[in-house]
Structure 1
Amino acid sequence: MCLISFMTLLIFSLISFFFGIYFIMNDYMIFIEWEVISLNSMSIVMTLLLDWMSLIFMSFVLMISSLVIFYSKEYMEMDYKINRFIMLILMFVSSMMLLIISPNLISILLGWDGLGLVSYCLVIYFQNVKSYNAGMLTALSNRIGDVALLLAIAWMLNYGSWNYIFYLEFMKSEFEMKMIGMLIMLAAMTKSAQIPFSSWLPAAMAAPTPVSALVHSSTLVTAGVYLLIRFNIVLSSSWMGNLLLLLASLTMFMSGLGANYEFDLKKIIALSTLSQLGLMMSILSMGYYKLAFFHLLTHALFKALLFMCAGAIIHNMNNNQDIRFMGSLSLMMPLTSSCFNVANLALCGMPFLAGFYSKDLILEMVSLSYINFFSFFLFFFSTGLTVCYSFRLVYYSMTGDSNFFSLNMLNDESWIMLNSMLGLLILSIFGGSMLNWLIFSTPIVIILPIYLKLLTLFVCLVGGLFGYLISNISLFFYNKALNNYNMSNFLGSMWFMPYISTYGIINYLLIIGNEVIKSFDQGWLEYFGGQKIYYNMKKNSQLNQMMQNNNLKIYLLSFVFWIIILYMLLIF
């Protein structure tokens, strides 16, 4: 089943990509309306939008999904129910397809909810308490976005149709459209894990690594960004863009700081995803939707590769994810390490790799735009932090001596996993330049002063140096911050966000619930309610029982009473 799914998705991916190229060259778009059912005056219509954006994104999702399924053939080979796993991934991908090609809020909701439900099933795939907790946090965080989308559907009733694509341009300044935009922004923030909904993204690492590669590159977390790219007109024409810029920049900054305090390999990569999502959202909020889409695609390539390499390392390290146990992997797993380092360099924005073309262009456009100094600082400082935690990760895992069991055999003999990784390696090297030529048909000339032009390079070099120093030389300040439990706990736990969204919500509700039970259910309500009724009924039934006992005294007494009553009736 793995091979059939892999081949089918790969063929569809190539077809979609070539159609996307044709559409982009001819500025072409197809809008399909299919009447599913017609009853009297009511008809249910399914609408599909095929333009260059949806087709190229679909081709990338299908390409990465096909390689992830091929990768899973070896990674999940010990799983007896691997076909069920493949079916879940196919359901996940088909939900994403529905979301991508929908110009209609109803069909978007179907794909959106499909992603939420299947992601819950995939996060709890390894059945243990940690997975169940992570699954509930993921599902309930995404529920907020689902509710916002349902409210947006209700507000769309003002326009007589749910095909939002017809109304965006003309109605962008109306109150109703602003409300819809606000709700869509809330939905996208929950799905793409922006502050204050960030805590579910690292928790979702409880899923198997192939699922993480799929979720973090091109499906679940990118759904929110893609939806906002479609709604970009509403964002850029109101205050919502400024609010999103602030929250997305803070998300980028927070996740970059958190990754420098983390020792779990998959969580570091998850926090890097959060950082890149913040970058996409913030550049999108400034109105550059094509740039956000460009970074979305290039990021999908190297992030899927990064997770696949992490999966291969974890597989060889006996399912251990702590980077402190790793070391000298470059000697023992040279091919996997090469792929891992290329993906890391692409993430940092190394010139002429996939990440460079989008990241460098984004930062130069930020330098060219009219934004405040705070946002400018967050953009560049977060870029430095990205290089910092990437170098720290490479230092811990690739250099030095291995800190794992001396008998543990590390090797590069997993050919199926390597083949899928090498496919993505080629895309991570050439994908950025290819997309740059495709999406931006006319070259963009950005003229900046020399110090701004070199600022990106300078920030990356300083970030890399600092990443090396904090790993190698125990810097006094860094050690002091690390030893200061409160500070490192605050920065390493994403500014206490997981605590706020779990204990912070549940704790007070449980305390209030306990008081309610004590005061009402087992207190006043018990005294005046159930217990009082029971007590009164018991007393009455005891009296009734006493009356109905065959007692001669009672009978004689009642006989006397009857005579007295009859006598009184006769007199009167």
Structure 2
Amino acid sequence: MGATTLNWIQIDELRVTLLVMVALLSWVVLRYTWRNFALEPSRPRAMGWMLGCLASVLVTLIANHFILFLLSWTSISICLHRLLLFYPERARAVLATHKRMITARLTELLLAVSFVQFYLWSGDATITGTLAHYAETGTVPMAAMLTLVVAALLSCAQMPFHGWLMQVVESPTSVSSLLHAGIVNLGGFLLLSFAPLLTEAEAARWLLGVLSAVSCGLAILIMSTRISIKIRLAWSTCAQMGLMLLEIALGYYSLALLHLVAHSLYKAYAFLSSGTVRPIHNVLVRNSWVTLAWFMFSLVLINGALWLSFGHFKPTAAVLLSLSITLLMSQAHKFSWLKSVLIAIAWVALYTALTLSAAQVMQDGRVHIALDLAVAAWFIVLVALYWWLEQHVAHKVSQRWFIRLNAGLYIDEWFTRLALWLWPRPEERHRYDSVQEEESTS
């Protein structure tokens, strides 16, 4: 990829793509915020912090020097903190913002440690200089990559550091849209910026792949038990971020870039229109044989398209896309078989074309086939488990697991207690106890 590099900033195809996306989303979100806060006396304050947050995101995208990157990254967190506390009287929002603040400080610390390790290894304090040193030596600082991976996992709100993402929906809708459509994606951008090093860091890829796959799978199961539109969207973000990080771990950088852009556009629209969404009902697959036939047909079709386009299979991508086509077509009773097959072929063609377009911007790394097969099997097991739970809703095992999943497997409860113990603030501890008491009596 060609690149124009100054010492402090960097402009290349990846960053131009994301800058265009952020510019579009910024215009939409700011316009919505201006109208939504028309009757709010504090509208200038909201617009100011929103502009500051968006400006910090733009600087982060083009930052090349480690100091500039870290400062702009921290600035995003500070501006977002003020936006999330726009209604400070909401106890749940205050508690969630406090937990996010702890996670953000830890992320920034890990990011700083990683950058220091890169500097000591390469002798250069820029991203381009670090990548150039790797190209010359062929070695990778494993400790720095492991630290970077953990920072990305924290930034993308992966389990068990996910609870704040579900609870900050108490903030204004435009703030939720900005957070879910842009800011939470920055962990993926961080890893894509260091993609050549990540390709060679085997331990970091396994760590990223395993943790993101587990977080993504559990988030999907938990999301299926929620009925609130915004809460479902928040759990969807957790799952989608896990999937994007998983694609990066597998070496599918072009697919991860496509996922990042598509998720940002979709989630911005979803949150801004959440007030008009009708109630959501879980989809049940009635005919197992038809479902199995659709899945096998889709799997063959997608693997064929991937082989012709890229010269190799993508097991995880093929399984997930096949499942999505199966879910759609098993419910499309009004379509004939011929129309359904044509729709499936068109879907695969669109996916392949978009992935090829993304590959012009971000080239894939070396595919981790062992991790890919393991993750594909993991998702098949999860879908089988979900299908069994949905088909046996009256079974006591299904009911017991529904309660646990609806409670998020109680993971966030443990993290909340740990966070308040590590960084106690009397007002947050009091509010947490009040929220717990309200939930126990309701």
Please report the TM-score for the alignment, with normalisation by the length of structure 1. Answer: 0.56
Residue 77 of structure 1 is matched in structure 2 by 38
Counterpart contact for 1:185–1:228, Cα < 8 Å? yes
Q: Report how far residue 312 of structure 1 moved.
A: 4.6
Give the alignment of 1:136-285 within 5 angstroms: 136-158=98-120, 159-168=122-131, 170-171=133-134, 177-217=141-181, 219-238=182-201, 239-285=203-249
Q: What are the Cα deviations for residues 204-226 of structure 1, in whole angstroms up to 9, with x where unaligned?
A: 22221111111111x21111110
Residue 382 of structure 1 and its aligned partner are, at CA, apart by 10
Aligned length: 363
2 CA distance for matches of 1:382 and 1:248?
Answer: 18
* Aligned 1:25-424 pairs, distance under 5 A: 28-33=2-7, 47-127=8-88, 128-158=90-120, 159-168=122-131, 170-171=133-134, 177-217=141-181, 219-238=182-201, 239-312=203-276, 323=279, 368-369=313-314, 380=319, 384=323
Shift of 1:383: 8.2
For the pair 1:490 / 2:409, whether they are aligned, the reply is no
Task: State how far apart, in whole Å, the 2-side matches of 1:73 and 1:220 are.
Answer: 20
481 and 270 in structure 1: CA distance in 2 versus 1, 3 angstrom threshold:
farther
Shift of 1:294: 1.3
Tell me how far 1:293 sits from its aligned partner.
0.8
Cα distance in 2 for residues equivalent to 1:386 and 1:30: 41
Check whether the contact 1:76–1:82 (CA below 8 A) recurs between aligned residues.
Answer: yes
Cα 1:312–1:93 change in 2 (3 A) is farther
Matched with 1:477 is 393
Which structure ranks higher in relative contact order (CA pairs < 8 Å, sequence separation ≥ 6)?
A: 2
Cα distance in 1, alignment partners of residues 306 and 268 from structure 2: 22
Asked if 2 retains the 8 angstrom alpha-carbon contact of 1:146 and 1:187, the reply is: yes
In the alignment, the residues of structure 2 paired with residue 307 and residue 131 of structure 1 have an alpha-carbon distance, to the nearest angstrom, of 17
Alpha-carbon spacing, 1:253–1:271, altered in 2? closer, same or farther (3 Å): same
Amino acid paired to 2:165: L
Aligned position for 1:521: none
Once residues 139 and 186 of structure 2 are traced to their aligned partners in structure 1, the CA distance between those partners, rounded to angstroms, is 25
Larger radius of gyration: 1
Q: How much has 1:200 moved relative to structure 2?
A: 2.2
Note closer, same or farther for the CA distance 1:384–1:481 as it changes in structure 2 (3 Å cut).
farther
Give the secondary structure class of the aligned counterpart of 1:79.
coil
CA drift at 1:259: 0.5
Q: Do the aligned partners of 2:393 and 2:399 also contact (CA within 8 Å) in 1?
A: no
Amino acid at match of 1:113: T
Report the alpha carbon displacement of residue 93 of structure 1 after superposing the two structures with TM. 0.7
* Distance in structure 1 (CA, Å) of the matches to 2:197 and 2:56: 25
1:501 aligns with 2:415: yes
Structure 2's unaligned 5+ residue stretches are 282-301, 332-349, 365-372, 425-442
Residues 382 and 102 of structure 1: is their aligned pair in 2 closer, same or farther, counting only changes over 3 Å? same
Q: CA deviation at 1:168?
A: 2.7
Residues in 2 aligned to 1:211 and 1:144: alpha-carbon distance in whole angstroms: 22
Question: What secondary structure is seen at the aligned counterpart in 2 of 1:50?
Answer: strand
Amino acid at match of 1:188: A
**C-alpha displacement of 1:299:** 1.4
Give the partner amino acid of 1:295: H
Q: How does 1:452-467 map to 2 (within 5 A)?
A: none
Alpha-carbon RMSD: 4.1
- Aligned 8 A contact 1:155 1:176 in 2: no
Shift of residue 288 of structure 1?
1.7
Q: Distance in 2 between matches of 1:305 and 1:382?
A: 22
- Contact 1:253–1:382 at 8 Å: present in 2 too? no
